[in-house]
Amino acid sequence: MEATGGLWQRLSGPEERRLLEILSYGLVGAGALSALLLRFVRMPYGRYSTRRFGCPVPVRLAWALQELPSLLVPLGLSLFSGAARVSKWPNRVLLALFIGHYAHRALIFSFLIRGGKPTPFITFALALIFCVYNGYLQGRSLSNYAEYPSGWLKGPCFIVGFAGWLSGMTINIYSDHILRNLRKPGETGYKIPRGGLFEYVTGANFFGEILEWFGFALASCTIESAAFALCTLFILGSRAHQHHQWYREKFEDYPKSRKIVIPFVL
């Protein structure tokens, strides 16, 4: 473990800091490109799954494995990379927020999924790569480079950001609960989601996650966290738009008052 920590210490410095900035710009670019592509091609996942994008992976297994790197990579960096900032409480708390989200997604959410279509291998592989990429980006930034004043956790940026993170995660988890329980045992087919923020937006679960990561970005105030928030907005906003169109095409009685992803706006 000491050898591993020494290696990371030798790698750390201005060059790696610059690399993290470049990767942040790349994350925003990838999100914008994905949003553009999703205007023409539906995300091959869930109701849009197709074998054209590779052999199917069982949905529970796919979710658990693809989300796991965003839990393990920052955790490993914090414990075994000789991280310079991980002893500071603001860094610890912010890392805990990021890791906590993915602990829930990989270890709890994935096993609560009921039914669900298998995930095409290419979709699974891209999600896995993204989680490795972003796990390194956020984990290395917060564990080794991000610096905060001693009173950061009592300051307005963290408090408002944390409130956004917590509200977004709560909305996301509750909205997923609604979606999982749309069908009674033995029922098939799709239904219109009811309850919670689904009364206002088609993508209530997406809105929750977007709010969560923008709150995290405000609480962190790093270029890496801001890039992640923007990437999330690009991708999940596009997915919400696809779902909105799909529901309007499938259900004649779909509420016309519902927005796409942000209540009262989009």
Q: What is the CA radius of gyration of the chain?
A: 19
| Residue whose structure tokens are 């995290």 | 216
Does some domain include residue 102?
yes
Is the pLDDT at 173 greater than 70? The verdict is yes
Query: Strand, coil or helix: what is 63?
Result: helix
Is the pLDDT at 45 greater than 60? The verdict is yes
Confidence class of residue 2 from pLDDT cuts 50, 70 and 90?
low
pLDDT at 44: 83
Does some domain include residue 156?
yes
% residues pLDDT > 90 (the chain): 77
Q: What is the mean pLDDT of the chain?
A: 92
Model confidence pLDDT, tens digit, residues 197-231 = 999 999 999 999 999 999 999 999 999 999 999 99
Q: Could you give the count of Cα atoms lying within 13 Å of 223 in the half-sphere of its Cβ?
A: 13
| Residue whose structure tokens are 């696809």 | 242
Model confidence pLDDT, tens digit, residues 84-137 = 899 999 999 999 999 999 999 999 998 888 777 899 999 999 999 999 999 999
Among the listed ranges 97-106, 179-188, 192-201, 231-240, which one has the minimum average pLDDT value?
179-188
Number of Cβ within a 10 Å radius of residue 180? 14
Does some domain include residue 262?
no
Domains: count for the chain: 1
Query: Strand, coil or helix: what is 155?
Result: coil
Quote the CA–CA distance of 256 and 200 in Å, as a whole number.
10
* 211 or 83, higher pLDDT: 211
Number of Cβ within a 10 Å radius of residue 82? 20
Does some domain include residue 256?
no
Helices and strands counted in the chain (H then E): 10, 2
Quote the CA–CA distance of 47 and 55 in Å, as a whole number.
16
Confidence class of residue 40 from pLDDT cuts 50, 70 and 90?
confident
Residue-number span of the structural domain to which 209 is assigned: 2-250
* Residue among 114, 257, 108, 140 nearest 192 (CA): 257
- Look up residue 182 and give its DSSP letter: S
Query: Strand, coil or helix: what is 236?
Result: helix
Whether the Cβ atoms of residue 186 and residue 219 lie closer than 8 Å to each other: no
Does some domain include residue 176?
yes
Does some domain include residue 258?
no
Does some domain include residue 266?
no
C-alpha pair distances (Å), 183 with each of 55, 114, 116: 27, 10, 12
Task: List the structure tokens of 110.
Answer: 């994935």
Q: Is 186 left (phi over 0), alpha (psi -120 to 50) or beta?
A: left
% residues pLDDT > 70 (the chain): 95
Confidence class of residue 53 from pLDDT cuts 50, 70 and 90?
confident
The answer to whether the pTM exceeds 0.85 is yes
Is the pLDDT at 262 greater than 90? The verdict is no
Quote the CA–CA distance of 40 and 43 in Å, as a whole number.
10
* 256 or 8, higher pLDDT: 256
Does some domain include residue 47?
yes
Strand partners, 259: 201
* 6 or 64, higher pLDDT: 64
Among the listed ranges 33-37, 127-131, 188-192, which one has the minimum average pLDDT value?
188-192
